Structure 1
Amino acid sequence: MLDRRRIGAAALRVVDEQGTLTIPALARALGVAPSALYHHVSGRDEIISLMREELTGATGGADQDWSKPWDQALEAWARSYLAAFAAHPGAVPLLAVAPLAEPFMHAMYEKVAELLLSAGFAEAQVMPLVNALESFILGSALDMVSPPVMVSDVTRETAPHLSAVLDQTPTDHTRAEHSFTLGLRAMLTGFGHLLPDN
């Protein structure tokens, strides 16, 4: 039976495999005619919304412990967000530019907004902080599926400083993980310095 949940999951698979989303390709993946999809969705935008719902469910935001200190709760949210998008990197370009009109997204952002406001951040700071963090997470999700070595064929004689730091850079999948961990810690530390008592 075709339903909205199955459509969203199949759309994620299509984007992962093909790097783009078209109605005919999604219909083929589901084994139905394109017209059958329109009994459940109004079009491509709604399918993208279903993809977002699938990914949002994977972040565990609804089950997250938001009572932790703001930086710990935000770190847990960021890591779950990264894991969901790293599993479906093909969805990043689609979802990054699609407006967030869904109530389930509003509910998640409500939790984040409450967390940051309760911590003492100003109302005008909250969405810029969230946007900055999400931009970092989405870029990191793409980095997670990039080649382990991104800077190669460096000549030590012409780039001695770069060569020295590359000597200390992992050449396996841990490179992206270390980069995310360091970057996330730097962002959260920087956020903390924006609080009134810092």
Structure 2
Amino acid sequence: MARPRKPLLSTDRIVATARELVDAEGLAAVSTRRLAAELGVSGPSLYNHFRTKDEILEAVADSVSAQVDLSMFEDGRNWRDALHEWAVSYRAALRAHPHIVPVLASGPGRRPAALRLADAVFGAMVDAGWPPAQATSIGALMRYFVMGSALGSFAGGFVDDAAAYDPGDYPHLGQAHLLAERQQKIDDRAFETGLSALLEGLAQQYEQSATAG
């Protein structure tokens, strides 16, 4: 029997193709018609795997959540170091696929990888001695911080034109035109600065709770 000219359609292949489209062109680029064309299949064949375009985007979002490393919550390290390493991994996954962040921001819903992520963070905080309510707040806080850092670039928001920052109008922005060319370094440093400050604040709360207890 002759081998098929194209790989058989599968859920994983649909998700991978949709993720490539989202990465390259944004959420608006994904439609069942466009996906079918990219996959070389008929549109109706997609419905054997997904009922709607939204289900496909949910699956793409979950495939990104699955890229986040959770091993730091299982190897015995302390909660602060684990949160730091997890946040770095989480941000790396989101920065690699920034266009899917709005879907991820809606919450884990029923997405398995996203639920495993939430479960790992919450469980690790409770196991470390945080009260459940506070552990929930920490998970939410970390999510807000990491997603916010992935949604845009502070440094990239400035233009590479010294004339745009007239010292008469903006006396403290004389070097702002240099930010764009140093975008990654500045954004990475800002993330680490914020993450360190956030974790230091949590560590102080943790110590105060232990002392009060």
TM range (shorter): 0.7 to 0.9
1:55–1:85 Cα contact (<8 Å) kept: yes
Q: Distance in 1 between matches of 2:131 and 2:170?
A: 44
2:17–2:39 Cα contact (<8 Å) kept: yes
Partner deviation per Cα, 1:35-71 (whole Å, 9 max, x = no partner): 111111222232123213321232122x445321111
1:175 counterpart (186, 189, 195) = 186
Q: Which has the higher contact order (CA 8 A, sep 6+)?
A: 1
Q: Which residue of 2 aligns with 1:77?
A: 86
2:21 is aligned with 1:10: no
Q: Which residue of 2 aligns with 1:184?
A: 195
Structure 1 range deviating more: 47-56 or 171-180: 47-56
Q: Which residue of 1 aligns with 2:4?
A: none
CA RMSD of aligned residues (A): 2.5
Q: Aligned letter for 2:157? A: M
Partner deviation per Cα, 1:145-166 (whole Å, 9 max, x = no partner): x4844235323344334547x5
2:51 counterpart (42, 47, 69) = 42
2:124 counterpart (112, 115, 120) = 115
* Percent of residue pairs bearing the same amino acid type: 29
| Length-normalised TM-score, structure 1 | 0.84
Q: Distance in 1 between matches of 2:96 and 2:136?
A: 25
1:48–1:95 Cα contact (<8 Å) kept: no
Q: Which residue of 2 aligns with 1:33?
A: 42
1:23–1:34 Cα contact (<8 Å) kept: yes
3-state SS of paired residue (1:156): coil
Q: Which residue of 1 aligns with 2:167?
A: 156
Task: Give the unaligned 5+ runs of structure 1.
Answer: none
1:117–1:126 Cα contact (<8 Å) kept: yes
Q: Aligned letter for 1:197? A: A
Select the structure of larger CA radius of gyration.
2
3-state SS of paired residue (1:160): coil
Q: Aligned letter for 1:184? A: L
Q: Distance in 2 between matches of 1:19 and 1:170?
A: 22
Q: Distance in 1 between matches of 2:102 and 2:168?
A: 38
Partner deviation per Cα, 1:61-93 (whole Å, 9 max, x = no partner): 2x4453211111111111111111111111111
| Length-normalised TM-score, structure 2 | 0.79
Q: Distance in 2 between matches of 1:29 and 1:110?
A: 35
What is the total number of aligned residue pairs between the two structures? 194
Q: CA deviation at 1:171?
A: 4.0
2:63–2:113 Cα contact (<8 Å) kept: no
Q: Distance in 2 between matches of 1:94 and 1:22?
A: 15
Q: Distance in 2 between matches of 1:147 and 1:194?
A: 29
1:75–1:184 Cα contact (<8 Å) kept: yes
Q: Which residue of 2 aligns with 1:138?
A: 147
